[in-house]
Structure formats: structure tokens, C-alpha cells
Structure 1
Amino acid sequence: MDQRTRIRRTTSAAALLFALTTAATACAAVAGGVEGKPGAAGLRDPYFPRLGNGGYDVTHYDLDLDVDVRTGGDELRGTATITARATQDLSSFNLDLAGLDVTGASVEGRPAAVNRAGSELTLRPDADVEDRLREGRTFRTVVHYSGAPRTITDRDESEEGWLKTADGSLALGEPTGSMTWFPGNNHPSDKASYDITVTVPEGLTAVSNGEQVSRRTAGDRTTYHWRATEPMASYLATVAIGRYTTKSSRTPEGVEVFTAVDPKVARASGPVVARIPEVMTWAAGRFGPYPFASTGAIVDRREDSEYALETQNRPVFPGTPSTGLLVHELAHQWFGNSVTPETWQDMWLNEGFATYAEWLWSEDHEDTPTRESFDVAFANDLNWAFPPADPPSAAELSAPPVYGRGAMVIEKLRQAVDDDKVFFALLAGWAKEHRHGNASTEDFTAYAEKRTGQDLGELWDTWLYGDGRPEDPDAQVTP
């Protein structure tokens, strides 16, 4: 993701409604006679406590979307088939869904009662299927929904969710926006595989994550089916609808490269987009084998979105990206997409590593040592507003310290190791050890100390958790 500021809004009224809904659901479970207890209506994330849901783990989403693209606002009709495994005996469970109307739901083929409180959708299954909701069992939920998918505007006026573009639409989900176009367990800790089928007016192209399975036209509508078999966090899911010029090729290693470029920016972006195979080969040499079956890019017009985003398999760019931005978003496929943060507090593991990838690219291709990039970041006052591992609020999750100071942490680790062979083996080993999983800051610090055999506590205290800028850029200890 490129650098921007994000914020989460909560109110006391919403908190009260949340509490009342949870209590009502618990009572309903007892009255209905279904064994078990309700799944939590939030995962208590440090910055977004109501995001995500407890009591189950999603293994697969099958999303069938029919989109009527309109100038004033799209209309979407969707069916979400969600396969999940119960992590407790469930009497009811929640899904995150914002704005759209639910027209029906079922669990294991039986109608389920549906209650709605803001973006919390509570499903209470029929008592006849209670055995399928016992801990460890797999169950299938189907939700039918429709309406005008909304755009979420944050306090900094950046937008996510379902965005209107010059010739179509674009869905961006970090950190909360995916719930504007499909119901799910909207937290990075619950990753799943996806099938995303999108039907649009003939003449438009629908691009999503993974690999294209099929394309078929019936009458004046065209249906595109995309499949992402590797686990993906919900915030990395995307749908891009427009009049794209598409191209498919392969890297020297055999990875599919699929690009979708708005014709208005095709000429300007062509030389940079053509470097994707080169960047991928370089990144694999630094970070280990590419963790997905395909890569690529979606390039829209500059005015279509306010930022680039590392959507899985093919990041989204507003207008022609610089080579550095291309490197940044493709590095996220290792750091953020394959190794995904356990909570949003671990955001620096995404952005610090991706920023450091830019520094490495400059070192390898522009004769700019990473120490020089470190010195520039060290001199930037904005990078010292707070420790990268402890943003003061959700508003600062994409602020400069998460990027610049996060990258400084990695450079200080390189200096502490003082052996590039060991250091780059450490980076590739981190990506390998947590491939397609989740990891926390504590996981990374423990991993680095185990791999290096060093006590790095002073490094973490100064560069990862310390307040203020050290007087000496070579300092390893808290001043």
C-alpha cells in the first residue's frame, strides 16, 4: 500500500447497540434450544475491535456478483457461499456486511434467522443443523444480498470500499472496505481461498484475484470467473470493472503475469508495467520463491483512486506507477499478502518490509546503498512521530513511521547481523516460515533472535518501540 492515513470511527451509541445485539442473540440461542454459544461479534483487534468474528474459521468464499454499472452508483446482486470450520460449539455467528440488504440466508441448506445491527449480521441456524456447528465441523452458509455498494470515506478523506471510476468500478478493502461488497469474517487473521464470479455489461472487463477460470457472454452480459487458491485476507480481495486492455505472459520462472490497464494510461504506463517480470525475478532472489501462482497489475486512471494497494496477485495503481512503487507493491506479495499481520497493530511488518524492498532495489540497480536510504529516513522528522510497532490510533496505521521507521528497523537488523548472507537468508526464511499464514511483531522479533543467535532487545527497544529519535543514527541502545 502506498503511504496514507487511515482512521476508524466508533460511537458510544454503536457500542451500546453492539452489546444489546450480543445479549439478544445469546437469549435467542437458549430459547431456540440450539446447543453451544454465540460466536463473538468482533475479534478485539487493537484498532478495530468490532472487525472480524469469533467461533469459526472461513476456509473458502464463493462470491457470485451481478453488477449493473451505473453513472450515479452501481447496483449489485450477490450470493456468498461461505465454507467455514467451527472453532467452538455454535448457536449463532456473525458476518461483517455494510450497507447492502440481505434477502435471505441459509446454513447447511436450512433457512437461518438473520438479525442486523449496523455492519454486524447475526445468523441463527435452524436447530436441525446444530450437529454441523459443533467444534471442528465444517459447515456452509449462503447469503443472498443486493443494493448499492457504498464507498467508505475516512476522516482524512481517503476512500475505500466500492469506488466509482471513469468507466466502471473498483473495490479496495484496506482495512475495512471489503464488507461493502461481500459478507465475511473481515479481519486479516482469517484467510481463505476465493472463487469470485462477476457478471457485467458486455464490453466491460471484470478483473479479480488469482487466475481467470472462464469468460462467457450471454446476451448483453459477460461473466468472468476468477479463482485464488492460495489463502487471502479479505482486505486484499478486489474487483476492478472497466474497459481494460489486458495482457497475459509469464516470468522466466513460469509465473503467470496478468495485467489490466486503462487504455487512457496504457502508453505512459507500458514501460513500467513491462518491468514486472524483471522485478519478480529480482524479488525472488532476495525474498525466496514467489508464493502465488500469478502476478500482475491493475492500472486505472489517476483520478480513479487516491492510492496504490497491494491487492493479492495484482496490485492496483492509480495512473502510471514509478518503478519504486511497483517494487513496493510487488514486495507486499511476500510481506503482507503471504505473510499477513496477525492484527492491524502489526502493520509495520507489511509497510516496513515493502519500503525496505525499495531501498534494496535502489542499492542493486541505482548504486544507492541502503545505508544512504536509512540516513534520509533518519533525517525525516515525520518518521519519529511514534514507534512503528505502536501507532497511537487507527488514524496513524499508514503514517510515515510505519513505513520509514519500519524500514529503518530492518536496516538496523542488517547492521547487527553484519553478514549479508545470513541477513538475506533471514528475510527469505521469514517469508518461508510464515508462508500463507499470519504473524505478529513478537513472532518476528523472536524469529530474528533465533536465526541470528543474538539478543536484539536493545535494537527493538530503540528502533521498534522507542520514543523519539536517537542522537546517534548508529545507536543500538535506548538513549
Structure 2
Amino acid sequence: MKRLILLFLAGTSLALARQTAPQLPAPPLSTLPDGFSAPSGYGDSIYPLLGDAGLDVTHYDLSLRSDPRQDVISGRAVLSITALRELNQISLDFAGPKVLGVKLGGRAAQHAQVGEKLLILPPTPVTAGTAFTLTVAYSGTPALQYDSSTGGGLRLGWITQAGGSYVLSEPDGAHTFFPCNDVPADGASFSLHLDVPAGYTTVASGVQTRQVTAAGRTRTDFELAQPIPTYALTVHVGRLKLETQAGPAGIQIRNAFPVNLPDDVKATFAQTPAMIGFLAEWFGPYPYPVYGVAVSADPQIPALETATLSTFPARPEQPTTALHELAHQWFGNSLRLGDWSDIWLNEGFATYAELLWAQSQGQSAAPLLERWYARLARVPARGLPATQSLQLFDSSSYFRGALALHALRLNVGDGRFRRILADYVGRFAGRSVRTADFLGVAQQIGGQTALDAMRPWLVGPQLPPFPKGFFTQAVR
């Protein structure tokens, strides 16, 4: 099966997107202290120098002390790591505050903070398969980084403004405030210990497990047992009001709203329980024990599918936007990317979820399909694999990806389409995925004709013409 899919990919030029110019400059050898070498990176197609292919980080234990009135944080990060190969040097992504000290397995380790990398020299090489811990203490102002995928217009990472702090890291901002293997392929679980001045509320990805106020400060702990990509982690600190309710299948609904937030902004999220139940019918059980939204006081930020706690701006949004970010909890957070070039596996699936929801509300799919196609017709056409950061969140990732799924649905019918989605999610929950993984499931259930239906949308670069009955034909 895997060989057939690889042949399909090769035959339709859907092989891995070629590496483009690195987004991180390699540290000049002249700036490296004696004994250190330039890191090679993980090898992602879009961000090849981020990460370290020799590391499997399984858990992050983060203690963060902050004050939303000051753009400063103090942190202690304990990383649980398994070596995937012999390590003469350990390389973490970290553009954040000054490192105060590093311990490898409880003993002080020689380290160097160079550019956006934290390099550690073990006293002896770490053999492949060895599990070990790294502890990094740091303090200062979080690194200033802007999103290359939007042309630099959006700040990423830990952001403090207007008396509050929030985290918005997709695609490559997590390493601005904690040391990590900042590639989505290396997902990990998280423990968070957040220390803020009393009177401020903290909410974060995961389940709140403890809260203590003493000596004018409040510490709140969160646990997220399921692995997520580093960019999906979020923290919000501010004058917030928490609203909770019971959701379907025992899921806790937890929303964090700024005090005095207008009711029309809150109204966007009134249907969250119904949306969770509906998407579970298509994709399988919701992957976490808690879900909700955190609204930032900043009205200019985009909505983002941060894990278990989607981030939204302080402005009214369409319910479909709330549905889109919820769908990402399956596609992007639970099933995380094996390579950024396959971003359509996140955005195309979440966009198509909007159509499924619209149909469940008695609406015709035709207007959405026509609008998606019209958007694509106005921009240069390309196949679905992204080849540069500016393509990560363009129209093709969203709308061409969604139309590829609709072409598959029309070919195989609703019954088998549901089976494809549910089997894909069930098989790869908590794992990284590539396009070949989805195509393997589609072929197994829908046959070669299922792949043939998707081929024109996958490979490009031309925008395929309307298939007969694409907008009007009732799916089987």
C-alpha cells in the first residue's frame, strides 16, 4: 500500500516540496565558541534549520513567572528527550530571553546561545535510544519575532500589551519564549506552572489541576497529556472571566473572556457544544478532555487553533470561524504535520468542516463551493504542497485543499467518505502525518478512482475546471 502511494506521489509530482531559503540563518562558524558546531536542523521543507532531527522531545515541564504589566518573563523548562541517534551536541530552538543555566540529567552542562539556537555539549556522547532530561533556566524579555508566512506583519510568541499577555506561535514562534524542538513533527505533552500577580487570571492549553494564591501572587498549573505541536501551545494572562459548562461526552467547555467583553463577541461561541458533537460524528471523538476559547483584548490578531483553547480577537466572528478552529483540534493539533509543506492537511480539512456544518444546518453547499473556486480563480494556481513560507496560509492551502476533499466525497459517496475521515483520524491520532498517509487511507477505502478524483487538485499547477455536477450533484 505505501509503495503504491509513493508511486502515485512520484507520478504526479507530489513528492516533498523542495527546500527553499532557510528562514533561520545558520550561526556563523566564527561566532561559535570552541567545541561547538553549527547545527544542521530537522530538515523540514519550509523551515529546514529549525529543530534537531536527533531529538524526540516527549514532554515539556514549563514554569513561567510573568507580570502582564511588564514585557519580561522568567522560565524554567525541563525537557524529557529520547536521542534518536548518537548526540555529540544537542541543539534546541531558542531565541528567547538570556539563558541563566543548563543542566543535563541534573548536572551543569556547557552551553552556548547563538542566534536562535541553544547548543549544549554533553560530557560524553549521548547514545541512540537514551532517554534524558534537560533543564534550562532563563529570564528577560521574550524574543521579538514576526511571521514570515504573512510577510512579517504579525508578531509571534509571548506577547504583552494593554495589561495582558497571550501566546500566538504558529508557525515558528514557540521558541521565542521557551527552548524546544520547534517543528510540528515532534509533538509532546505539557505540564505548565504559571506564576502571575494576584488579581490576574491565567488560562492555558490543557486541564487546570491546581491553583494557589500566596504572597501577592497566584500559581496555576495545567496538564496536557496528549502530544501537540509546539506552536499550538497557548497561555493567556489578564483581567479575564472564566465561563464553564458541561459539553458532550464529558468534555468541559471553558471560555476565557476579558471583563466587559460585549455580548455579541461572546455569541460567536454559543454553539460550541453542538459543534463538538457534530464534528465527532464525522471525525471521531474529540481528542481532549477540555475545549473552549480565549479572547484576547487585541482586536487585530487572527483566530488561531491553539490546543484545547482556541485564540480569538476581541471582535465579532462568524460561527463558521469558530467551527474552523474547533476542527483544527483534530486536524493540526491531534494529527500534526510531519512537514510544513503539507499544511493543506490542516487548513483544507478545517475549511471543509465549514461546509459539513453548513449542510447540517440545512444550507446548500453550492454557495461555499462557488466562493472557494472564485477565490482560487483570482490568484496564481499551484498544487497543494507548499514550497515556501508565504504559501502556508494562502488560498490554495484552504480552498483548493477543501475542494480536493469535495472531489473525493463526490467520487466515493458520503458513506465511504465518512469512513475515510474517521479511519484517517483514528489511525493517526496523536501522530504526525503526511499527504501520503491520507492518500493511503483514501485508496484503501475508496480505491484507485478515489486518488484519480483528487489528483488534479493535488498536483497543479493549473486550477482544474468544474467537474460535472460539482456544485449541484447530491452526494451519495
Q: Distance in 2 between matches of 1:383 and 1:421?
A: 33
> 1 CA distance for matches of 2:445 and 2:379?
28
Partner of 2:435: 441
Is structure 2 residue 174 aligned with structure 1 residue 174? no
Q: Displacement of 1:252 after TM fit?
A: 2.8
- Counterparts of 1:211-250 in structure 2, within 5 Å, are 211-250=207-246
* Superposed displacement of residue 384, structure 1: 5.0
Where does 1:179-194 land on structure 2 (aligned, <5 Å)? 179-194=175-190
Specify the alignment match of 2:394 in structure 1. Answer: 399
- The correspondence of residues 448-459 of structure 1 with structure 2, limited to 5 A, is 448-459=442-453
2:419–2:445: 8 Å Cα contact kept in structure 1?
Answer: no
Match of 1:92 in 2: 89
Contact 1:169 1:241 in 2 (8 A): yes
SS at match of 1:212: strand
* AA in 2 matched with 1:135: A
Instruction: State the match for 1:112 in structure 2.
Output: 109
Quick one: distance in 2 between partners of 1:177 and 1:10? 15
Inter-partner Cα distance in structure 2 for 1:443 and 1:429: 11
Partner AA of 1:121 in structure 2: L
Aligned to 1:29: none
Is 1:462 the counterpart of 2:456 in the alignment? yes
Large movers: runs of 4+ above 6 Å:
none
CA shift in 2, pair 1:310/1:19, >3 Å:
farther
Report the Cα distance in structure 1 between the residues aligned to 2:75 and 2:463, rounded to whole angstroms: 50
Q: Report if the CA contact (8 A) 1:264-1:301 is conserved.
A: no
Cα gap change, 1:22 to 1:436, in 2 (>3 Å): farther
Q: CA deviation at 1:321?
A: 2.7
Give, in angstroms, the shift of residue 339 of structure 1: 0.7
- Structure 1 vs Structure 2 CA RMSD: 2.3
Match of 1:30 in 2: none
Residue 386 of structure 1 contacts residue 392 of structure 1 at CA under 8 Å; is this kept in 2?
no
The equivalences for 1:131-280 within 5 A come to: 133-154=126-147, 155-280=151-276
2:301 aligned residue: 306
Alignment of 1:17 with 2:11, yes or no, is no
* Pairing 1:405-420 to 2, within 5 Å after superposition: 405-417=400-412, 419-420=413-414
- Partner Cα distance (1:179, 1:302) in 2: 22
For residue 56 of structure 2, give the secondary structure of its aligned residue in structure 1: strand
Deviation sequence 1:257-302 (CA, Å, 0-9, x none): 1111112325223332222111111111121111111111111234
Relative to structure 1, is the Cα distance of residues 42 and 158 closer, same or farther in structure 2, using a 3 angstrom cutoff? same
When normalised by structure 1's length, the TM-score is: 0.88
The share of aligned pairs that are identical, in percent, is 32
Question: What is the alpha-carbon distance in structure 2 between the residues aligned to residue 366 and residue 119 of structure 1?
Answer: 50
CA distance in 2, matches of 1:428, 1:164: 40
Task: In structure 1, give the amino acid aligned to 2:95.
Answer: A
What secondary structure does 2:255 align onto?
Answer: strand
Secondary structure in 2 matching 1:74 = strand
Residue 391 of structure 1 and its aligned partner are, at CA, apart by: 2.6
Give the superposition deviation at 1:109: 1.0
Question: Which of the residues 47, 50, 73 maps onto 1:76?
Answer: 73
* Residue of structure 1 aligned with 2:285, choices 284, 289, 297: 289
Q: TM-score, normalised by structure 2?
A: 0.89
- Structure 1 match to 2:319: 323
Unpaired runs of 5+ in structure 1? 1-7, 27-37
Per-residue CA deviations over 1:79-128 (Å, capped at 9, x if unaligned) read 0000111111222211111131000001011111011220111001234x
SS of aligned partner of 1:309: coil
Deviations 1:186-234 (A, max 9, x none): 0001111100111111111111111001111111111111110111110
Tell me if structure 1 keeps the 8 A contact 2:27–2:115: no
Is the contact between residue 176 and residue 235 of structure 1 (CA under 8 Å) also seen in structure 2? yes
Report the Cα offset of residue 144 of structure 1. 0.4
Residue 386 of structure 1 aligns to which amino acid in structure 2?
A
* 3-state SS in 1 of match to 2:145: strand
Identify the residue that residue 63 of structure 1 maps to in structure 2: 62
Separation in 2, partners of 1:351, 1:296: 20
Cα distance in 2 between the residues matched to 1:207 and 1:175? 21
Q: Match of 2:63, as an amino acid?
A: D
Indicate how the Cα distance of structure 1 residues 295 and 394 shifts in structure 2: closer, same or farther if over 3 A, else same: same
Counterpart in the other structure of 1:50? 49
Q: Is the 8 A contact 1:111 1:125 kept in 2?
A: no
Q: Which residue of 2 aligns with 1:3?
A: none
User: In the TM superposition, what whole-angstrom CA distance separates every residue of 1:428-453 from its partner, at most 9, and x where no partner exists?
Assistant: 11111110111001211122111212
